[in-house]
Structure 1
Amino acid sequence: MTSMARPIRDYLPGLLVLAGGLYTVYYYYMYWLRVYGALCIPGYGDPIKVEVTQGIWIRLDAILFPTVFGVILTLLGVMLIWKKKFGAAVVAFVLSATVINWPAFILIAGGALLGLLFWRKNLLPTIDLPDKTMEWVDAEVGLSVLKSFRRLPSEGLAYSFRNENGEHFVVKETVSEQAAKREMNALTVAADRDLPAPEAKAAEGRFLLMAQMEGYPFLQPLDFEAWTDEIAGILTTTHTARMPEAKALRRAAEPVIPGWAIDRAIWERAAQIFREEMAGAVPAFVHGSFEPANVLFRDGRVTGLTGWGQAGSGPAQLDVGRMRVALELIHGGNVADRFLGTYKNLSKDRSFKYSRYWDLLAVYGWLEQDPGSIASHWRRFGITTLSEDEVMRRLERFVKTLIDKE
């Protein structure tokens, strides 16, 4: 029954309005055909009159009004099938009186009323947070405005909202209570070092509450050079901050050969190089999950970083490598190389060295997710050309370019 209820709720209101609009157009077209045969035209240009029941005379052009609205309601019915909008259902209900025939009026008004009933929840956003969490949010930052809740493009539950004082916040769900506390501590440490991180407010269970920063993830720039320069600049700022005591949650350091590998020989050679060329590095304050979806932009400039759950002390190359692989997948090697070159030029650490070992380590880190998850992750931010198969192909191609650097 549930499987049938969804199509009915989605399509029945629009279909009824569409049927009423089409019937109106058909009704008045047939009416015109009927009276056309009985027309008496005394002279060119004279008003055309048609006799109807009980001796009433009307002008033939009077049917133009309901016919036009029949066309409008037909189009509105198509729109309701395509877009389930509460406001459009209100418009359809109001216009139902303009068709001036009972069958169409019943169809249109009935469809519009069903739309009002089925889609009334669209007046408020759907908020999937537990009631207990909503009460906690209100207790921490003041009564929240329900209409302001907006789902953020995140793998877990994450909403932006404002309270009655107009202050903007974000509440997000992490993987565990421990992860929420860790990210809150990382945000506190980052704020203490004047890094562009959200201000942590509180943590409760798996949920973390923080102030909302200006800007949004921006993954499709027109000027790639300026874009990568901004990303490299914010990373060098992070890496030059005073190191925290907590260590970063490092990615798995063991090479893997993915089950979907097209050419296993490439991955076997990469694993050999990874073991042979293992490199050390001077620790820094690392973000731990540095990739384009966690970098906020406004007016072409970076405004902050999100996703600090992995942050801590560790090799700066961890952040550089993770971003390089992400850029390789999304925009290609030229953009990834540009980012690395800019980072090296801006870095104040003259001991910084980067080798293919760090690229391979980053690849293995990304392989903790399956290719489909990687593609869908960036699809939330407008990258629609990166399919699961394309992720596989680009990852293997990137690894091949690394092993070819003999």
Structure 2
Amino acid sequence: MAMASMARPIRNYLPGLLVLAGGLYTVYYYYMYWIRVYGALCIPGYGDPIKVEVTRGIWIRLDAILFPTVFGVILALLGVMLIWKKKFGAAVVALVLSATVINWPAFFLIAGGALLGLVFWRKTLLPTIDLPDETMEWIDAVAGLSVLKSFRRLPSGRLAYSFRNEGGEHVVIKETESPEAAEREAQALSATTDRDLPAPKAIATDGPFLLMTQLDGFPFLQPLDFEAWIEEIAGILSTTHQARMPDRQAHPRPAEPVIPGWAFDRANWERAARIFREETADAAPVMIHGDFEPANVLFRDGRATGLTGWGHAGCGPAQLDVGRMRVALELIHGGNVADTFLGMYKNAAKNRGFTYCRYWDLLAVYGWLEQDPGSIASHWRRFGITTLSEDEVRRRLERFVKTLADKE
């Protein structure tokens, strides 16, 4: 164990340190070379007279010195990068550029560091599987992945990988927050299978890991045609709510008003809390998803193909799903898109007596505040929403709450 702990820093830092040393030595070498040449030419009595005459007879082009010096700087920066980020590709670049420094000591330092990086980090030619060895053995035993054909990491806050085995079957391994959460989601997926809903099929659980089949499609959060996109989202939610109700209750989210510590206009949040307490609403229970937001809706060729993230599913008011999606759309794309979604869902559910009020929006806001604004922003950043910063999440949440509080 001690040897392993000592070897880890060597593997992590030695390649980059050698490349950095080679780059810095190159800069120093050509700086000193320039000083020698300058002294021989311009400083009386400097150097050997014969060398002075020889040096005067040589036409020294400035780029002959600058060329390797610049690459010395580049390789020094590459060494810093290799210390900070252990990248196989950067080690390959360092090995190729080692020939440009045109001096043997730096060449050996840089080439040696780059080759060590290639040896130490060779596994990163493919994405690294961060799953424990015992988990991989369990996947192999349960899903038959003894001949692993391909894998890729899925965009998720926790570990999630898609695998394909020799039979061409695709499965997903997902890390949940606890063994109880994994079992809860597996039970929810069993209920969706019985109801023929667009959800993956649970295969097995192992501690906090859930193994399930993979659905066709990918999360799609930046559409060109917002109306068609929203119509698909509203349609798949309506399908879910029409399924037979399960026996289990949906996993609860916070149902009490929250005034976040970062709130700028606390009076606005306090007014919203009073409204929430005074305008409590009730609704008939249906089968709900429980975490209905854009990143959990899969699309293929512009059509919604399935839902993931069923850990909160169960029996509850349809308004919970609608409200959670509305707040997500408000944060990602603004109020017009959120209102369009509500209108399309109402049209799809008009035969079920669906009603909606601001109470459900406020309840959804309090549910989203389980996460801090930074976590919310980074969650959607994995799916291409790069303009939503932590401060922007705060601003949009506060603006949405103010709009609800001002609404009569």
Q: Shorter-chain TM-score: what band?
A: 0.7 to 0.9
Tell me the residue number matched to 1:165: 167
Q: How far did residue 213 of structure 1 move?
A: 1.7
1:2-401 equivalences in 2 (<5 Å): 8-9=13-14, 11-16=16-21, 18=23, 37-38=56-57, 82=81, 84-90=86-92, 92-93=94-95, 96=98, 101-144=103-146, 148-401=150-403
* Residues 336/146 of structure 1: CA separation in 2 closer, same or farther (3 Å cut): same
Q: How far did residue 191 of structure 1 move?
A: 2.3
* Residues 314/76 of structure 1: CA separation in 2 closer, same or farther (3 Å cut): same
Paired residues of 1:20 and 1:107 also in contact (CA < 8 A)? no
Deviations 1:225-271 (A, max 9, x none): 22222211211111122222222123222222223322222222212
* Residues 365/113 of structure 1: CA separation in 2 closer, same or farther (3 Å cut): same
* Residues 138/196 of structure 1: CA separation in 2 closer, same or farther (3 Å cut): same
Deviations 1:106-126 (A, max 9, x none): 133223223224423413543
Supply the distance in 1 between the matched residues of 2:100 and 2:36 (Cα, whole angstroms). 17
Supply the distance in 2 between the matched residues of 1:88 and 1:190 (Cα, whole angstroms). 46
Paired residues of 1:240 and 1:348 also in contact (CA < 8 A)? no
Supply the distance in 2 between the matched residues of 1:23 and 1:313 (Cα, whole angstroms). 71
Paired residues of 1:218 and 1:296 also in contact (CA < 8 A)? yes
- SS for the counterpart of 1:284 is strand
* Residues 217/404 of structure 1: CA separation in 2 closer, same or farther (3 Å cut): same
Paired residues of 1:13 and 1:114 also in contact (CA < 8 A)? no
Tell me the residue number matched to 2:45: none
With 126-135 and 179-188 compared, the bigger mean Cα shift is at 126-135
Paired residues of 2:15 and 2:116 also in contact (CA < 8 A)? no
Q: How far did residue 383 of structure 1 move?
A: 2.4
Paired residues of 1:20 and 1:74 also in contact (CA < 8 A)? no
- The residue type paired with residue 197 of structure 2 is L
Deviations 1:9-46 (A, max 9, x none): 57435435645876899899999999885479xxxxxx
Paired residues of 1:84 and 1:119 also in contact (CA < 8 A)? yes
- SS for the counterpart of 1:302 is strand
Supply the distance in 1 between the matched residues of 2:360 and 2:27 (Cα, whole angstroms). 64
Superposition CA RMSD, Å: 3.6
With 240-249 and 306-315 compared, the bigger mean Cα shift is at 240-249
- SS for the counterpart of 2:299 is strand
- The residue type paired with residue 104 of structure 2 is W
* Residues 25/193 of structure 1: CA separation in 2 closer, same or farther (3 Å cut): farther
With 99-108 and 29-38 compared, the bigger mean Cα shift is at 29-38
Deviations 1:335-372 (A, max 9, x none): 11111111112225340001101101111111222222
Paired residues of 2:200 and 2:308 also in contact (CA < 8 A)? yes
TM-score of the two chains, using structure 1 as the length reference: 0.81
- SS for the counterpart of 1:349 is helix
- The residue type paired with residue 252 of structure 2 is R
How many pairs are equivalent?
385
* Residues 5/104 of structure 1: CA separation in 2 closer, same or farther (3 Å cut): closer
Supply the distance in 2 between the matched residues of 1:14 and 1:336 (Cα, whole angstroms). 52
Q: How far did residue 215 of structure 1 move?
A: 2.1
Supply the distance in 2 between the matched residues of 1:78 and 1:404 (Cα, whole angstroms). 54
With 235-244 and 84-93 compared, the bigger mean Cα shift is at 84-93
- SS for the counterpart of 2:117 is helix
With 14-23 and 260-269 compared, the bigger mean Cα shift is at 14-23
Supply the distance in 2 between the matched residues of 1:32 and 1:165 (Cα, whole angstroms). 69
Identity %: 70
Q: Which runs of 5+ in 1 are unaligned?
A: 41-59
Deviations 1:260-307 (A, max 9, x none): 322222222212221222122122211000011111223332221110
Supply the distance in 2 between the matched residues of 1:204 and 1:194 (Cα, whole angstroms). 25
TM-score of the two chains, using structure 2 as the length reference: 0.80
Supply the distance in 2 between the matched residues of 1:98 and 1:385 (Cα, whole angstroms). 40
* Residues 103/309 of structure 1: CA separation in 2 closer, same or farther (3 Å cut): same
* Residues 96/358 of structure 1: CA separation in 2 closer, same or farther (3 Å cut): closer
Paired residues of 1:144 and 1:161 also in contact (CA < 8 A)? no
Paired residues of 1:23 and 1:104 also in contact (CA < 8 A)? no
With 110-119 and 171-180 compared, the bigger mean Cα shift is at 110-119
Tell me the residue number matched to 1:47: none
Supply the distance in 1 between the matched residues of 2:287 and 2:302 (Cα, whole angstroms). 25
- SS for the counterpart of 1:210 is strand
